[in-house]
Structures are given as structure tokens and as C-alpha cells.
Amino acid sequence: MKAIEIADGIHWIGANISTTDLFEGIWPIPQGVTINSYVIKGDKIAIVDLVRDWAGASTYLIDELKSLGISPKDVDYFVMNHLEPDHTGDLKAMFELSEKVEIITSKKGVPLVEAFYGFTERVRAVGTGDTLDLGQGKILHFYDIPNVHWPETMATFEESTGTLLPCDAFGSFGAFKGSIFDDEVSDADHKFYERESLRYYANIVGPFSNFVLKAIEAVGTLDIKIIAPSHGLVWRGDPGRIVNRYKAYANYMKDYAEPKITVIWGSMYGNTELMLRAVLQGIASEGVLTEIFRVPQDNISYILASVWESAGLVFGMPTYEYKMYPPMRDALTHIIHKKAMHKKVFRFGSYGWSGGAQKEFDGMIEKMKWDIVEPLEFQGGPTDADLDLAFERGAALAREVKQIPIKSKEFP
Ligand code: FEO
């Protein structure tokens, strides 16, 4: 691709990544991901965030620079908002192409530049309140936005164009399908990017939601006209749309959620599955939406996205050797690690010669602040009375979830 102008003197460069690799070595990206960098040109030239040498990204970046008539040796500053290697992987190679370039990063970024790439010279620390004048009216302002996504993360704001470059914040999975801009994609594609931004958030940024809210507050006073994150669309038509989305995502771990139930289940011989049907009928009797995942078949990345926004969760799994069915333990470990707090939760399942899953489940979720509907366990196969109870518990959970929408509609 050629560089694309997003504002006067500011161009997108970067890469549309299409690969069978997993993002962070964990998360599937069947629809791709973008790594966005930006060139800002005054009398001096800055590149804000770089790429890693992944699926040809480094070559694309240099070619896009060339399309602007810029060689890496012409660049004065690499502004590193965030040191995670998806945005810095080619820093060493790029740095060595220029004798004058200076690395600009946050105070907490400086030791990471040394740890990852060994550079201690031509590295400058900046923080909230600091500026960098590129000439020709292009002045960069820096804002610390720690933990969105790592502790050293900062955002860069170019004042004359009102362009905010916040790195991971306001980012998304999903490659570009033709345009990089929010005001040039169809409604159907907006729905696609919305799901992919939720999945990105739940997989990557979720545990740091309080910091996301602080970051939104920190940049909230700026006259932002364009939001140019390092993954996903550039928001110039309606930047408020992605900010509000992120506000909602951050509040999902507090007291805001969508009125739906994520059902996660696994069954060895079909007995837990029999009860699942009764639970689902109970939920359906109250007209509440469900999203259903089976473990280990379904990928945790998609389960997390659903869990993140749902007011209610159902876990259906048997006991396995005195403990939880292992694929469910794996899923629950991810859910707890990502801090999907404040849910309404029901768990059920069968056991053979001994129980034990419930005890382990209770211990794992102790700190999650979940409201628990009384669990249901049974030996062997469920009786008719068990199935009636399962229907009732499913319906009870659904009634609790239906209380949530009132709050939901008030947000943001
Ligand atoms: Fe896109 Fe936290 O790196």
C-alpha cells in the first residue's frame, strides 16, 4: 500500500496482517489485524509507533515511507507510545538505518527500550505536559495513559489537526477491507469491527479497564477530531463512537452489562448435556438472549468476548477425578485472569462416583464478586425432578439478568 493521508501533514503507514499466527501467541485472528504507524511531517519528521517484522510488515512500512519520498535515514524521531513488540519489533533495524534519529518514549518506556533493544543513547523520556515541536505548526503533546496496555503506555496528540494517536487504546482486531477510515466502511462492516473491537478489548485490554476510564478522562479535555489507534480503523467521521464503545467495554467489569447470558458447557457422556437443554429452556421461557459455547471445542478468545459483555453466565460441566472438567477449568482461568467481574452466575453438572467440581469452582471464583444462583449437581443421569429444577434455575437466572437493561439503557 501507499501511505494514506489522514490529516494535513499526517499519513498512515503500516500493515494489514493476514496470517495463521496467533496474536500474542494466544488469540486467533482469522480476519486479520492491522498494525498502524503514522508519519508526522513538519520541518522535522516523526514516526509514531512502528511495526514488527511480521507477514512482511517491515517491508511494507519502508515502502510506504518511500511513497512519501522519505527514507528511514531522514526520520528525526521515533515516538514509541508503547513498547510491546508488535509496535517496536523493527525498532533496532530502523534505528540502525538512521544516524540522527532519536527515540521518544515515556519515562517507564526508557528501561524497556534498553531491555528489548539495548539502546541507551539517543533516547529521550517525556510525560504528560511535555511537547515536541516538529516545526510548521506541528506540535506533539504527550499524555501518560499507563496500563492501556502496559505501564509505560502514553498517547500522542498533534494539536493543529486534533489527531490523537493512542496506540492500543481504541484499537481492534480485523484487517482493513478496503478503507482505513470509519466514514468509508459499510454498516455491515461496522458491525464486524464492533465485534472485533470487543474481542480485542476482552482479550487484551480488559483487565486494565479502570485505567482505560482514566485514560479517557485524561484525553477528554482535548479537541479531538481524529483518533488514529495502532490497530484497526482510523476514526475521523465519528471518533466519539469508538470512545463510547470503549467506555461501555470498561464498564462491563463494573455495574454495566448487556442483558444476555453466555452459556459455556462441556459434557463427557451426555448427562450434563441433558441438563443443559433444560437450563436453556428455562432461560428461553423468560425471553433472554443466550450465546452458547462448548469447551474444549470453542476458542477462548470468542468466549471471553461474549462473557465480557454478558450480564449472566452459565457453566455446565461434570466432575472429573474429584475436580472440574479440565477444559472448563482452562476457560474459567482465562475468565478470572481477565477480571470479568460482577456477573450473575449459575453452575450445574453431573458426577460419577464422587463430586468435587463445585468445590473447586467455588474456590476459584471467590474474588469475582459474582451473584450466584444456587448450583445444581446430580449423580449419574438427571432425574425428571432434576430437570425441572434445572429449568427453574435457568429461568431464575434469566429473571435476574432482565433487571440489568434498565441500567444498560442509561449508559453512557
Ligand atoms: Fe498492540 Fe499492547 O500492543
User: What 3-state class would DSSP assign to 156?
Assistant: strand
Which cell numbers hold the place of 30?
A: 482469522
Per-residue pLDDT tens over the stretch 99-145: 999 999 999 999 999 999 999 999 999 999 999 999 999 999 999 99
**Is the distance from the beta carbon of residue 84 to the nearest atom of ligand 1 less than 6 Å?**
yes
**Is the distance from the beta carbon of residue 161 to the nearest atom of ligand 1 less than 6 Å?**
no
How far is the centre of ligand 1, averaged over its atoms, from the C-alpha of 405 (Å)?
32
Residues 283 and 204: their CA atoms lie apart, in Å, by: 30
**Is the distance from the beta carbon of residue 87 to the nearest atom of ligand 1 less than 6 Å?**
yes
The protein residue with its alpha carbon nearest to ligand 1, atom 1, reads: 168
User: What 3-state class would DSSP assign to 294?
Assistant: strand
How far is the centre of ligand 1, averaged over its atoms, from the C-alpha of 320 (Å)?
37
**Is the distance from the beta carbon of residue 34 to the nearest atom of ligand 1 less than 6 Å?**
no
Question: Starting at the edge strand that comes first in sequence, how are the strands of the sheet with 131-135 ordered?
Answer: 131-135, 138-144, 154-158, 163-165, 226-227
Cα–Cα distance list, 274 to 18, 269, 271, 277, 396 (Å) = 40, 10, 5, 6, 19
Residues 320 and 268: their CA atoms lie apart, in Å, by: 9
For the CA of 230, the closest atom of ligand 1 is: 1
How far is the centre of ligand 1, averaged over its atoms, from the C-alpha of 205 (Å)?
9
How far is the centre of ligand 1, averaged over its atoms, from the C-alpha of 226 (Å)?
20
Per-position b or e across 202-239, b if 16+ CB within 10 A of its CB: bbbbbebbebbbbbbebbeeeebebbbbbbbbbbbeeb
Per-residue pLDDT tens over the stretch 60-102: 999 999 999 999 999 999 999 999 999 999 999 999 999 999 9
Which cell numbers hold the place of 138?
A: 506541528
Q: Is residue 398 within a helix (H) or strand (E), and if so which, with residue range?
A: helix 384-401
Q: What is the mean pLDDT of residues 136-155?
A: 97
Q: What is the mean pLDDT of residues 359-372?
A: 96
Long-range contacts of 362-367 (CB under 8 A, 24+ apart): 364/329, 364/332, 364/333, 364/336, 365/332, 365/336
How far is the centre of ligand 1, averaged over its atoms, from the C-alpha of 282 (Å)?
41
How far is the centre of ligand 1, averaged over its atoms, from the C-alpha of 128 (Å)?
20
Res 268: pLDDT: 97
For the CA of 150, the closest atom of ligand 1 is: 2
**Is the distance from the beta carbon of residue 149 to the nearest atom of ligand 1 less than 6 Å?**
yes
**Is the distance from the beta carbon of residue 152 to the nearest atom of ligand 1 less than 6 Å?**
no
Res 190: pLDDT: 96
How far is the centre of ligand 1, averaged over its atoms, from the C-alpha of 254 (Å)?
24
Per-residue pLDDT tens over the stretch 376-401: 999 999 999 999 999 999 999 999 99
How far is the centre of ligand 1, averaged over its atoms, from the C-alpha of 86 (Å)?
6
Mean pLDDT of the chain: 95
Nearby residues of 299 by Cβ (< 8 Å), 6 or more positions away:
28
Res 385: pLDDT: 98
**Is the distance from the beta carbon of residue 82 to the nearest atom of ligand 1 less than 6 Å?**
yes
**Is the distance from the beta carbon of residue 344 to the nearest atom of ligand 1 less than 6 Å?**
no
**Is the distance from the beta carbon of residue 338 to the nearest atom of ligand 1 less than 6 Å?**
no
Q: Is residue 117 within a helix (H) or strand (E), and if so which, with residue range?
A: helix 109-117
**Is the distance from the beta carbon of residue 343 to the nearest atom of ligand 1 less than 6 Å?**
no
| 336, 364 Cβ separation under 8 angstroms | yes
* 4-251 and 258-400, same CATH topology: no
How far is the centre of ligand 1, averaged over its atoms, from the C-alpha of 15 (Å)?
14
How far is the centre of ligand 1, averaged over its atoms, from the C-alpha of 203 (Å)?
11
Strand partners, 140: 132, 158
> Does the pLDDT of residue 165 top 70, yes or no?
yes
Res 269: pLDDT: 97
| 155, 47 Cβ separation under 8 angstroms | no
**Is the distance from the beta carbon of residue 141 to the nearest atom of ligand 1 less than 6 Å?**
no
**Which CATH number, 1.10.3720.10, 3.60.15.10, 3.30.420.40, 3.30.930.10, labels domain 4-251?**
3.60.15.10
CA atoms in the 13 A half-sphere facing the CB of 114: 11
Query: Which stretches of 180-243 are assigned E, i.e. beta strand?
Result: 226-227
Res 101: pLDDT: 97
Q: Cα angle at 18 between 232 and 226, to 5 degrees?
A: 15
Question: How many angstroms from the chain centroid is the CA of residue 354?
Answer: 39
Residues 257 and 304: their CA atoms lie apart, in Å, by: 14
> Does the pLDDT of residue 410 top 80, yes or no?
no
Boundaries of every domain in the chain: 4-251, 258-400
Task: Using a pLDDT cut of 90, give the percent of the chain over it.
Answer: 94
**Is the distance from the beta carbon of residue 168 to the nearest atom of ligand 1 less than 6 Å?**
yes
Residues 22 and 32: their CA atoms lie apart, in Å, by: 10
Res 404: pLDDT: 76
Task: Using a pLDDT cut of 70, give the percent of the chain over it.
Answer: 98
pLDDT band at 256 (very low <50, low <70, confident <90, very high): confident
Q: Give the pTM.
A: 0.95
Read off the amino acid at residue 269. Answer: Y
Start-end of H helices in 220-356 = 239-251, 271-285, 300-309, 326-337
**Is the distance from the beta carbon of residue 52 to the nearest atom of ligand 1 less than 6 Å?**
no
> Does the pLDDT of residue 255 top 90, yes or no?
no
Nearest Cα residue to 136 out of 41, 214, 50: 41
| 258-400 CATH fold | Rossmann fold (3.40.50)
> Does the pLDDT of residue 183 top 60, yes or no?
yes
The protein residue with its alpha carbon nearest to ligand 1, atom 3, reads: 84
**Is the distance from the beta carbon of residue 230 to the nearest atom of ligand 1 less than 6 Å?**
yes
Read off the amino acid at residue 94. Answer: M
Res 320: pLDDT: 97
499519513: which residue's cell? 11
Res 408: pLDDT: 54
- Which letter does DSSP use for residue 205 in this model? I
In this structure, the number of other CB atoms found within 10 A of the CB of residue 148 comes to: 31
Res 46: pLDDT: 98
How far is the centre of ligand 1, averaged over its atoms, from the C-alpha of 87 (Å)?
7
How far is the centre of ligand 1, averaged over its atoms, from the C-alpha of 150 (Å)?
8
Res 220: pLDDT: 87
